[in-house]
């Protein structure tokens, strides 16, 4: 006869464990091992810690439920600790002080998920939480928990009727990242602990920079799925960190797919034929539950929109429903181009800055001659022959030579900016066949002086033409030549003819006019431009308006002129303001923010210093009418001061961690500090005189709690 899943020996009340997540899990694993339900502590603890690293297991109410399947476990077991001091499981309500460890044998199927589902449902009941918090003896906890996990399953019909509402509140799922997707899923009929059918969903998240939104969206979907018993979710993050694609076996068994992206999905054809829900990445952050509901519904509809079979076949009538509107597709294509262009700008800009740092300000006047005519064994002096004339340089020897090498390497990287922008715009529209014509078009745009505007146009033309040619119905023998010969050849030909014979000169004129306008901006006009850019950067914190300002700045760096570098500095400085200001505000007046906002404030400052504006999103999402206007005010001040003082940046990213790419760095910091102070004052004033409902309710509870002892 199987023993009960939890006994008094598996309960620790008011325990003084260490203050780290790993230590708490290890202590609970020790409890399991001490009862003979695990063969070793380390193996069980490591399995639970690895699962925790792939997706936090916190839930509302200062509760955490780490769980795992492990070869060290001999039978399904539940251990519980009520902590004397809370531990940071990154929960929405602060440090967790109630922690369950669910340990299941490696071959135990979904035993731990069924326990997790029942526990999660019970944890939304105040009476159950009250028992856990006030129990004087371990036996009281055991009785309450067994009453939950041993409860009879409801009739299947009733479970099906209430699965949606119950799943929205609590439950559980096998939520795994791509790294954990090799866990074997059961086949055949799939049922959750509630008896409802389980829908397997795969998701892809991606944003233009691949730094913040990508991972925030993945976390939001994962955390929401963790509260449901009707879903199994696997997420692939196509971010700037090393990408781990979903295994093909996981994709094949998926019932539906979610694309939460602001750029094109890499290798989209892997998901061909799957019902699809598509949106921008911010919707997954703000409405993860709604997107999961839509994916479940799509999986059950025979006529649901589906992912097209190949990138070249996206225009067929049968797959028309899988496409976004043309406006959205073009926007995503441009953002894809920007996301691939940014590394060229970053590498090139920083190398140019290092070249100036080592070789002096005048290294730009002779880097070609120095790198061509000298070597580490034949170093240049102060005087170097440049274009037939002797030129004096501030530095000499290895410093001048190394500076010239760095500058030359940076110039080489910068020369690919427009081609990369154009090539990957075309790639986002037409897949791999669009890359060659896109790159060729970008190179032609540079040759004709059309700059990044020409790159935008050639990328769109190349992608659309390649997509159109790819839709042709051709004989089978010719099909294999289409993506590698026919499409690149004819698309490149069309782009070249159009640029040289029709579009090149007008686009070059537009680019020259834009550059002249930027160069002419001095005094009040430059300040006004900085103010506008600052407002845009803080308006939606990583949304379309923010990205439009960022695109304007990064694309302009390809020209290498003073005005473009001033715009880049203003944009980066303004984008740093919101997270830093909100972090400062939560430090100054904690009582004006919810506990979750106070926790977010502890790390937001570092995101701000790194130029990750998305660090302010949790604050803006919870209280937009107070936070966003305050952030826009500070961003406008920073942008205006930066432009007014002529601050320049050769780097498109990095925040305060690229000081050698910014000049003058003192004025840059001054602009940021001014904006942070303005935003912090504004948000504190708005919250003080117009507090939001959540803060008022928290204050009322605190006042009531303080009044009770006095009344007694």
**Partner residues linked to 375 by β-bridges:** 378
Phi, psi of 632 (to 5 degrees): -65, -40
Distance CA 586, CA 598 (A): 6
| 8 Å CB contact between 361 and 399 | no
SS3 state at 87: strand
SS (H, E, C) 432-477: HHHHHHHHHHHHHHHHCCCHHHHHHHHHHHHHHHHHHHHCCCCCHH
3-state helix, strand, coil in the chain (%, to 5): 60, 10, 25
| 8 Å CB contact between 574 and 553 | no
Angle, vertex CA 592, rays to CA 706 and CA 628, nearest 5: 160
Measure CA 40 to chain center: 37
Distance CA 296, CA 258 (A): 10
Q: Which residues contact 526 (CB under 8 A, 6 or more apart)?
A: 566, 643, 644
For residue 321, give the nearest of 333, 308, 332 by alpha carbon.
308
Distance CA 47, CA 533 (A): 48
SS3 state at 182: coil
Which of 67, 112, 213, 653 is an active site residue? 67
Angle at which helices 451-470 and 435-447 cross, to 10°: 150
Distance CA 168, CA 224 (A): 8
Which of 33, 68, 207, 653 is an active site residue? 207
Cα Rg of the chain, angstroms: 29
Q: Would you give the DSSP letter of residue 324? A: P
Measure CA 151 to chain center: 40
For residue 68, give the nearest of 49, 48, 52, 54 by alpha carbon.
48
Distance CA 600, CA 590 (A): 12
Q: Which residues contact 402 (CB under 8 A, 6 or more apart)?
A: 358, 359
CA distances from 490 to 438, 482, 616 (A): 12, 10, 47
| 8 Å CB contact between 460 and 427 | no
- Active-site residue, 538 included: no
| 8 Å CB contact between 621 and 596 | no
| 8 Å CB contact between 31 and 82 | no
Alpha helices (H) along 96-227 = 111-122, 126-134, 138-149, 156-169, 213-225
Q: Which residues contact 242 (CB under 8 A, 6 or more apart)?
A: none
- Active-site residue, 67 included: yes
SS3 state at 649: strand
Q: Is the alpha carbon torsion for 12, 14, 17, 18 positive or negative?
A: positive
DSSP 202-270: EEEEE-SS-SSHHHHHHHHHHHHHTT-SSEEEEEEE-SSSPP-PPPHHHHHT-SEEEEEESSPPTTGGG
Give per-residue burial for 302-313: e unless 16+ CB within 10 Å, then b: eebbbbbeebbb
Q: Is the alpha carbon torsion for 25, 29, 31, 32 positive or negative?
A: positive
| 8 Å CB contact between 34 and 12 | no
Residue where the block lists tokens 């033309």: 461
Residue 231 in tokens: 């879903």
Residue 309 in tokens: 């079979």
Provide the annotated active-site residues.
67, 207
């Amino acid at each position: 006869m199987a023993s009960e899943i939890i006994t008094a020996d598996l309960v620790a009340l008011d325990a003084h464990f260490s203050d780290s997540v790993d230590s708490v899990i290890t202590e609970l694993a020790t409890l399991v091992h001490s009862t003979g339900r695990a063969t070793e502590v380390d193996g069980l603890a490591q399995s639970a810690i690895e699962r925790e690293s792939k997706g936090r297991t916190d839930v509302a109410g200062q509760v955490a439920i780490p769980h795992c399947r492990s070869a060290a476990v001999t039978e399904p077991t539940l251990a519980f600790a009520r902590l004397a001091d809370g531990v940071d499981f990154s929960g929405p309500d602060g440090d967790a002080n109630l922690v369950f460890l669910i340990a299941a044998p490696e071959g135990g199927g979904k035993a731990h998920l069924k326990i997790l589902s029942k526990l999660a449902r019970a944890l939304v009941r105040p009476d159950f939480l009250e028992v856990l918090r006030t129990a004087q003896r371990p036996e009281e906890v055991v009785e309450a928990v067994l009453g939950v996990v041993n409860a009879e399953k409801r009739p299947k019909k009733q479970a099906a009727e209430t699965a949606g509402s119950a799943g929205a509140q609590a439950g559980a799922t096998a939520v795994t990242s791509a790294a954990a997707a090799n866990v074997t899923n059961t086949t055949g009929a799939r049922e959750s602990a509630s008896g409802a059918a389980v829908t397997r969903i795969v998701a892809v998240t991606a944003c233009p920079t691949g730094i913040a939104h990508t991972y925030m969206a993945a976390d939001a979907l994962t955390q929401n799925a963790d509260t449901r018993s009707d879903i199994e979710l696997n997420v692939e993050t196509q971010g700037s960190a090393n990408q781990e694609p979903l295994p093909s076996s996981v994709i094949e068994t998926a019932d539906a797919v979610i694309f939460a992206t602001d750029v094109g999905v890499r290798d989209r054809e892997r998901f061909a034929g799957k019902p699809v829900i598509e949106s921008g990445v911010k919707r997954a952050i703000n409405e993860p539950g709604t997107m999961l509901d839509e994916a479940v519904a799509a999986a059950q509809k025979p006529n649901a929109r589906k992912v097209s079979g190949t990138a070249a076949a996206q225009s067929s009538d049968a797959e028309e429903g899988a496409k976004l509107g043309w406006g959205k597709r073009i926007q995503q294509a441009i953002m894809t181009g920007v996301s691939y262009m940014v590394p060229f700008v970053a590498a090139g800009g920083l190398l140019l800055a290092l070249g100036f740092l080592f070789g002096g300000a005048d290294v730009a006047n002779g880097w070609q001659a120095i790198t061509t005519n000298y070597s580490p064994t034949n170093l240049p002096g102060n005087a170097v022959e440049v274009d037939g004339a002797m030129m004096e340089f501030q530095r000499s020897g290895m410093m001048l030579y190394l500076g010239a090498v760095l500058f030359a390497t940076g110039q080489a990287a910068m020369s690919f900016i427009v081609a990369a922008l154009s090539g990957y715009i075309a790639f986002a529209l037409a897949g791999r066949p669009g890359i060659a014509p896109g790159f060729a078009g970008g190179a032609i745009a540079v040759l004709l002086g059309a700059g990044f505007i020409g790159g935008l146009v050639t990328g769109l033309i190349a992608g659309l033409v390649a997509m159109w040619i790819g839709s042709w119905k051709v004989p089978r023998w010719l099909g294999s030549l289409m993506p590698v010969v026919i499409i690149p050849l004819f698309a490149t030909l069309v782009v070249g003819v159009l640029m040289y014979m029709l579009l090149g000169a007008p686009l070059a004129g537009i680019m020259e006019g834009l550059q002249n306008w930027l160069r002419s901006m001095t005094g009040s006009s430059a300040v006004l431009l900085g103010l506008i850019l600052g407002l845009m950067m803080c308006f939606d914190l990583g949304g379309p308006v923010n990205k439009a300002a960022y695109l304007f700045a990064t694309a302009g760096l390809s020209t290498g002129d003073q005005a473009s570098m001033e715009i880049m500095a203003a944009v980066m400085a303004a984008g740093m303001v919101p997270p830093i200001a909100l972090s400062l505000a939560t430090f100054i007046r904690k009582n004006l923010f919810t506990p979750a906002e106070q926790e977010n404030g502890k790390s937001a400052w570092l995101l701000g210093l790194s130029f990750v504006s998305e660090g302010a999103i949790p604050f803006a999402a919870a209280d937009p009418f107070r936070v966003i206007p305050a952030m826009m005010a500070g961003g406008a001040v920073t942008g205006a001061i930066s432009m007014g003082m002529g601050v320049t940046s050769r780097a498109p990213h990095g925040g305060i961690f690229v000081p050698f790419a910014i000049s003058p760095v003192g004025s840059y910091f001054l602009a940021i500090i001014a904006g942070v102070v303005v935003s912090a004052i504004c948000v504190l004033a708005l919250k003080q005189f117009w507090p939001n409902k959540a803060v008022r309710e928290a204050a009322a509870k605190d006042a009531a709690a303080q009044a009770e002892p006095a009344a007694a």
